[in-house]
Structure 1
Amino acid sequence: MSVTFCSFACMKCPESHYANTEKKHCLQKAVIFLDHKDPLGMSLTITALCFSVLTTVVLGLFVKHRDTPIVKANNKTLSYILLITLTVCFLCSLLFIGHPNTTTCILQQITFGGAFTVALATVLAKAITVIIAFKVTFPRKMVRWLIISKAPNLIIPICTLIHLVLCGIWLGTSPPFLDKDAHAEHGHIILVCNKGSDFAFYGILGYLCSLALGSYTVAFLSRNLPGTFNEAKFLSFSMLVFFCVWLTFLPVLHSTKGKVMVAMEVFSILASSAALLGFIFVPKCYIILVRPDKNSVHHIRKRPHSRSNNPLEN
């Protein structure tokens, strides 16, 4: 602890102050956090806003071309849900930037976990839909029923409900709260959001990674199935990048403190969301905008097995 010397006695400086170089006075510590005005915070904010606008543009593009084969073949409802959720994922990173308080500390984890749960559950539903659409081992009537009834879409509310239960347990036992670190940096008090229960945080993160791993496994197994617009390969690549990003984040979380730790969490959110957007939707946007000749019924009919094996296109 810093000590101030005087002519009569020594006096310890309170935690909110530090001693000057002459050890004669206590100076007020500066309060710091990942601010929007900082170069790092500003760059992350701009990146998040740009990606959210880009995702909105892609959503508009899909809505405009909703009657084209490439949008219809990959379950346009799930595509809409995924694009809206990705927009929320990009925007939720803004909760980590700026002056934190108890409300934002709680919203950070709930919004982050909820948005990614819906996104990953949607990818899982899309991967299962691909298998249902192309697997010849399923009876034709069953395939029709599963697709018309949209049974794979039930995965989204089920996974979301599981996440809500986990969040309820977290908030009911040891919720996140605003914390102050007065010892990490000399002369500064760092405002950070304490996650409350590390076990609950890693439980949510493990749940997300298990969804990503499940989606990757299902998509990987269906990567070689026939079809003009089989997106299984793109789904598996996006899940692989997502899994790698958060697996890399764990050791960084333990080796950094303060603003750098928060910035790395924001970066992980942006990187994993960008992977989903890039791998899943950029190839489709390329065909819609640059190669419209491939986005036609005539092109599908020229490809062997494309029409007969993909009930989603019928």
Structure 2
Amino acid sequence: MEQDRCIPKLVEFFSYTEDVLTTILASISVLFCLLTILIVSVFISFWETPIAKANNRNLSFILLVSIMLSFLCVFLFLGRPVNITCILRQISFAIIFSVAVSTVLAKTIMVYIAFKATKPNSVWKKWIGVKLSNTIVLFFSSVQVTISIIWLTISPPFQETDTYSYIGKIIIQCNEGSVIAFYSVLGYLGILAAVSFIAAYLSRTLPDSFNEAKYITFSMLVFCTVWIAMIPAYLSTKGKYMVAVEVFAILASNAGLLGCIFFPKCYIMIFRPEINTKAYLLNRL
């Protein structure tokens, strides 16, 4: 057989113009981002109501902003990869998610402390306040920031071309650089999520008036389930479908946090204002 011409290979990546899946994932991300903004506006409108105060407004606001940024970071995974997006996609994902999960953990801890502080002469009263909750979020998030800095220092992610996985295709993708660092980031998120789930599960039987623990338990159950299911799917795929699996996990886990934690509150604020009163909450204690 004569070899007298070159046959161009198909270049594969998540193209905004040629890939329907890219449009679908981007549209879902925008939709959930707009939904998050709507929930933020609802919380701001009902900022002084008892249910907003009872569920730690500052932590709720931080969590909502983190969820919104997580939805937006999906766009770093779409389009043609270059070195800077390869770096930003994993680092932003790692840090934003660690802030979100750390906030969930802080909310759970504050629920427990608030319950303990209601008892007469309780020593827990001095721990109630914004300072402790912010310290929890900053501490646990800073661990992930440290891991990310070490990752960038030792072996940062970069763009590469894969010409061997598929015949007739050139896959433009991101190489994670240090595999150990990549799984360290995921592992730390897993530990944070597991701790948050256990803490929320143990606190679920506290009085329901000021208690988010039940909703947090469900949200972290969804979060952990999504990422546990994602690992084998991620390892068994190649090319752009690896990216699709990670993007789906980001969207699904964030949707779980948003739906389980904030939808019940928004429902009460908008449709059940009669139970969004201090008297009603105190009667439930």
Q: Same fold (TM over 0.5)?
A: yes
Structure 1 residue runs of 4+, over 6 Å off?
A: 136-139
Deviation at 1:149, TM superposition (A): 5.4
Deviation at 1:98, TM superposition (A): 0.4
Mapped pair 1:126 → 2:107? yes
Deviation at 1:123, TM superposition (A): 0.2
Give the conservation status (yes or no) of the 8 Å contact 1:216–1:235.
yes
Deviation at 1:197, TM superposition (A): 1.0
Equivalent residue number for residue 235 of structure 1: 216
Distance 2:168 2:106 in 1: 51
1:74-153 to structure 2, matched below 5 A, reads 74-135=55-116, 140-148=121-129, 150-153=131-134
Deviation at 1:140, TM superposition (A): 4.0
Letter in 2 for 1:233: K
1:185-264 to structure 2, matched below 5 A, reads 185-264=166-245
Letter in 1 for 2:128: I
- The count of aligned residue pairs is 284
* Greater fraction of residues in helix: 2
Task: With the length of structure 1 as denominator, give the TM-score of the two structures.
Answer: 0.87
Q: Secondary structure at the match of 1:178?
A: strand
Distance 1:140 1:236 in 2: 30
Deviation at 1:260, TM superposition (A): 1.0
The answer to which of 100-109 and 151-160 deviates more is 151-160
Deviation at 1:32, TM superposition (A): 1.6
Mind listing any 5+ residue stretches in structure 2 that lack a counterpart? Answer: none
- Identical columns (%): 46
Distance 2:153 2:281 in 1: 53
Give the conservation status (yes or no) of the 8 Å contact 1:135–1:225.
no
Equivalent residue number for residue 282 of structure 1: 263
User: Once the two structures are superposed, what CA deviation does each residue of 1:33-56 show, in whole Å capped at 9, x if it has no partner?
Assistant: 012231111000000011011001
User: Once the two structures are superposed, what CA deviation does each residue of 1:3-32 show, in whole Å capped at 9, x if it has no partner?
Assistant: xx54xxxxxxxxxxxxxxxx5421121222
Letter in 2 for 1:58: I
Give the conservation status (yes or no) of the 8 Å contact 1:113–1:204.
yes
Equivalent residue number for residue 33 of structure 2: 52
Return the index of the structure with the highest Cα Rg: 1
Distance 1:57 1:110 in 2: 27
User: Once the two structures are superposed, what CA deviation does each residue of 1:157-216 show, in whole Å capped at 9, x if it has no partner?
Assistant: 111211111011111111101011112223221111110111111100000010000111
Letter in 2 for 1:28: P
Deviation at 1:297, TM superposition (A): 2.0
Mind listing any 5+ residue stretches in structure 1 that lack a counterpart? Answer: 7-22, 306-314
CA RMSD of aligned residues (A): 1.6
Task: With the length of structure 2 as denominator, give the TM-score of the two structures.
Answer: 0.95
Mapped pair 1:30 → 2:25? no
